[in-house]
Chain A
Amino acid sequence: MPSYLAKVVLFCLSRLNGERSLAAIYHLLNGKKSAQTLQDSKWYHLDFLFGTLAVQKSEILHIANRLEHERLIERIDNDTYKVTEKGEAALAQFSFPAYLNGLRYVNETEAFWRRLSLLVQTISNLVHETTFEPIQRDEETLLFVKRWLLSRRNAAALAQSLYEELHRLLSRLDEKEANVFVWRLTSYERIGLTNEQVALVLQEDPAYTQLLFQHVLHFFLKTTEKESHRFPLLFSLRADLYETIPLTSSTKKTYELLQQGRTLDEIARIRRLKRSTIEDHIVEIAANIPHFSIAPFLSEEKRQQIMRVAEKLRTKKLRMIKEALEDVSYFQIRLALAKRGDGDGDR
């Protein structure tokens, strides 16, 4: 019986279809913001797992060995595996917490949690008139919560409102999910539990409780965004994080220039970068910004051709697609595939 984390790895291997190595899974789960990882996560519909688990490389290697030993996967190349029929069968009943959406909230989750946990600790201690040491220590979070509190008076009323918002939100989740979140909070009289400690109390796998915790945070982020009027305090904790787009910094610059109407070659010249580098950026943008149009780089007709071939060959390997088509560049194939990564993705 593979552990929960092993099943996550098995699931990823199944989606990757033998086309990426174990390193891709490592980067995906740890949320490496490289163009390659961002694209892969979209292409293979693994974006909901992006940056949701901190794992070691050695752990993944170890898991792969176990899975291979149990004949759930088979090695097709160095560090590249394919899931066997037995492996696919093992995944049949496997599912992820529903709101998990790593890539969508990659820039918000951590900061939102830090602010919320420090705020809860602060208000809880204010209400009980006790002193405390902040459980979050990075200056940005400390400063944010300080300013947030300065602009609002009356601790008791704040406590009441925050209590009501959290209660209302958590009531929409099941008991276990709400516990996983609340037990990690530090407050008056109690330092919060670590993920391992929560897992021990619940007798669950720590990887599972960690994903469940992320799922609750993503649920918070999604709901407070959609119903900001019903959760004004919680929404205000993430309002300034909201606009951020998950792009690497160099890509962001290219994106800004594109929005100013510059062409690919112009941007390459202005930024003194190779054309191929700018192409990488554009693929990254296409994979991550739903409303970004790829029409200037690829006609709709050609896009459909590429998608048809990809479907038929059941592959995302660029070379195979290119050989099956005439007059199409690698850049265009990557663009088409990146764009297809849109939508919610089937899990």
Chain B
Amino acid sequence: MEIVSVLKEKFGYDSFRTGQREIIEDVLNGFDCVAMLPTGGGKSLCYQLPGYVLEGSVLIISPLVSLMEDQVQQLRNFGEKRVIALNSFLPHAEKQEVLRRLAHYRFIYASPEILQSPSLLSALQTVPISLFVVDEAHCISQWGHDFRPDFLKLGRLRKQLGSPPCLALTATATREVIDDIVATLELTNVKKHLYSIDRPNIALCVEHVATLEEKIERLIHIVDAVKKPGIVYVSSRQWAEKLAECLRERGHRTAFYHGGMEAEQRLLIQQQFVYDQLDVICCTNAFGMGVNKPNVRFVIHFHLPAQPEAYWQEVGRAGRDGKESIAILLYAPGDEQIAKTMIEAEFPSLEQIVYAIQSIKHGNEHIGLTEVQERLIFYWLEQIEEADSIEAIAKQMHAHVEKRRRMKEAKLSFMLRWMMEERCRRQALLAYFHESLPHRHERCCDRCSLELAVYEEKNERMSSIPLKAWQEELRRMFLAKVGKR
């Protein structure tokens, strides 16, 4: 079938967006592909459409359970029934049933962690996999080495599944990260589709304030004035809660969102935001991936993001509908210290590593490291030759650690330089991703030309339907309005 008619029939679209056709054609021709499209550029279609053309199942590896669930839901909205998300929350009996019928599914979503399960692996080996998709593939590099060692095992996994063609998708990656992706996934015969990650409708702005108190005041002032809805990113759970309270006291419809909340509560907040019951979300970086909300008008960073990749991804959650939006980074002297401390806390010292290895060798459960560090140590222990002495192993590990630490510090100092940048911020950021800016946008950044007034709200606020007592709420839920009948 012609792919344009599949596009129309299955997804209801008349035409492809930038890059989609080229990527899909290469995928259908069996090439390994790395595709970089801007956030909101329709990445998922690049494997969803081939799912209807290729024989067999498409396996999609996704870094976050919530992201996976969002995408499964999206496919179901298109009417697809043969889609499943494999995650550790699946009850045992259901899981057995799913594994038995695995080949029946057109789309199989899985987290890298769950793919370590031998029973799942052997079930997958009986399934003809037509396409091996790694979503948010920058996790292999940006987070992979630090947070998700299981991502690094995906190359081996692909081999174990008979090396099906691979599609790695990302929205933010430097050339080094792209190389990392190609190397880790052991891609051969690879076609790179790297499109501009610029988002012309999002203006960039950095504001310097003198103190933390002033920053909070400034935040409230901005949120009061600008068009909503919007997202405020902070560095910790406590700050998410604190700022949500500040803004609520100002009369804003707001809530906090962070990884410490139960899954059900998180989903409620996310959906309240998507369905315009909330105007402002105060959140950590746990919020955003997979959230499909086109009309986000602003993204404010209350703390300095430690990496340009993370910054750009978070900024990219604004203006998916193509309308004017703004990203504001608030900076107070000393903010870089928070980011530095977080980097420090991420990496174990040589002494900690030696102690940890000794503990592991003695079968001790408590090895005195954070969970993240622990996963790293176990990953490296698998990689390093067993014959070496503990000290030698620890030294090797520490060399890895130092390399990653220096890389992270370099990213942070880029952010610091960027904040002080005298010339166009967009140009500087795109340059980091090895892109140039061929022509200036009308509303670009605070260094070019920017009037905050453009983004201000003139009209009255939206309000939700008022919450009534239970009897009336129950009637509203179940009994159709008379006029409708």
On whether the beta carbons of B479 and A163 are closer than 8 Å, the reply is yes
The answer to whether B465 touches A133 (Cβ under 8 A) is: no
Is A44 an interface residue when CB atoms closer than 8 A count as contact?
A: no
Question: Smallest distance from the beta carbon of A331 to chain B beta carbons, Å?
Answer: 28
Which of the segments A134-142, A218-226, A258-266 contacts the partner chain?
Answer: A134-142
- Which of A2-10, A175-183, A288-296 lies on the face that meets chain B? A175-183
A143-B469 CB under 8 A given contacts A120-B477, A127-B479, A135-B271: no
Contacts of B464 in A (CB 8 A): 190
Asked if B268 CB lies within 8 Å of chain A CBs, one says: yes
Does A143 lie within 8 Å of B94, measured CB to CB?
Answer: yes
In the complex, chain B residues whose CB is within 8 Å of the CB of A166: 474
Inside 8 A of A178's CB, which chain B residues have their CB?
470
Residues of chain A contacted by B89 (CB below 8 angstroms): 138
Chain A interface category by residue count: 35 or more
Beta-carbon contact of A138 and B90 below 8 Å = yes
Q: Are the C-beta atoms of B478 and A124 separated by less than 8 Å?
A: yes
- The reply on B48 being an interface residue by CB < 8 A is no
A232 within 8 A of B: no
Interface flag for A123 (CB, 8 Å)? yes
Is B479 in contact with A182, judged by CB distance below 8 angstroms? no
CB of A190 within 8 A of CB of B465, answer: yes
A167 partner, pick from B98, B272, B469, B471, beta carbons under 8 A: B471
**Residue on A nearest B256 in the bound complex, by CB:** A196
A135:B268 contact, CB within 8 angstroms: yes
Q: Is A187 an interface residue (CB 8 A)?
A: yes
B410 at the interface (CB under 8 A from A): no
Given A135-B267, A139-B90, A170-B470, the answer on whether A197 and B255 have CB atoms closer than 8 Å is yes
From A127, A163, A195, A201, B474 is in contact (CB under 8 Å) with: A163
With A178-B470, A182-B473, A183-B473 known as contacts, the answer to whether A192 contacts B268 (CB < 8 A) is: yes
Residues of chain A lying within 8 A (CB to CB) of residue B265: 194-196
**CB contact between A181 and one of B77, B255, B271, B470 (< 8 Å): that residue:** B470
Interface residues on chain B, number (Cβ under 8 Å) = 37
A160 at the interface (CB under 8 A from B): yes
Task: Determine if A137 and B69 form an interchain contact, defined as CB atoms under 8 angstroms apart.
Answer: yes
Residues A179 and B267 in contact in the complex (CB < 8 Å), given A170-B474, A188-B477, A189-B476: no
Q: Flag if A162 contacts B90 (CB, 8 Å).
A: no
Q: Name the distance in Å between B141's Cβ and chain A's nearest Cβ.
A: 29
Residues of A close to B476: CB separation below 8 A:
187-189
C-alpha spacing A163/B255, complex, angstroms: 30
Check B478–A162 contact: CB distance below 8 A.
yes
Residue from B262, B465, B479 within 8 A of A54 (CB atoms): B262
Q: A135-B267, A195-B265 are in contact. Are A167 and B474 (CB under 8 A)?
A: yes
Contact across chains for B467 and A159 when beta carbons are under 8 A apart: no
B91 in the interface (beta carbon within 8 A): yes
CA distance A143 to B81 in the complex (A): 12
Q: Which residues of A contact B85 (CB under 8 A)?
A: 139
Is B378 in contact with chain A by the CB < 8 A criterion? no
Instruction: Decide yes or no whether A98 CB sits under 8 A from chain B.
Output: no
* CB atoms of A187 and B477 under 8 A apart: yes
CB interface residues, A 99-137, toward B, < 8 Å: 120, 123-124, 127-129, 131, 133-137
Complex Cα distance, B481 from A124, in Å, reads: 12
- Closest chain B residue, CB of each to CB of A125: B477
Seen from chain B, the residues whose Cβ lies within 8 Å of a Cβ on chain A are 69, 73, 77, 84-85, 89-91, 94, 98, 255, 262, 264-265, 267-269, 271-272, 275, 277, 464-465, 467, 469-471, 473-481, 484
Given A128-B480, A193-B467; 19 other pairs, CB 8 A cutoff: A120-B477, A127-B480, A131-B77, A133-B271, A137-B73, A137-B267, A138-B91, A139-B85, A140-B94, A159-B479, A162-B478, A170-B470, A181-B470, A183-B473, A186-B271, A190-B277, A190-B464, A190-B465, A201-B467
15 contacts between A and B (CB under 8 A): A128-B481, A133-B77, A138-B90, A138-B91, A140-B91, A160-B479, A163-B474, A170-B470, A182-B470, A182-B473, A187-B473, A193-B268, A194-B255, A195-B265, A196-B265
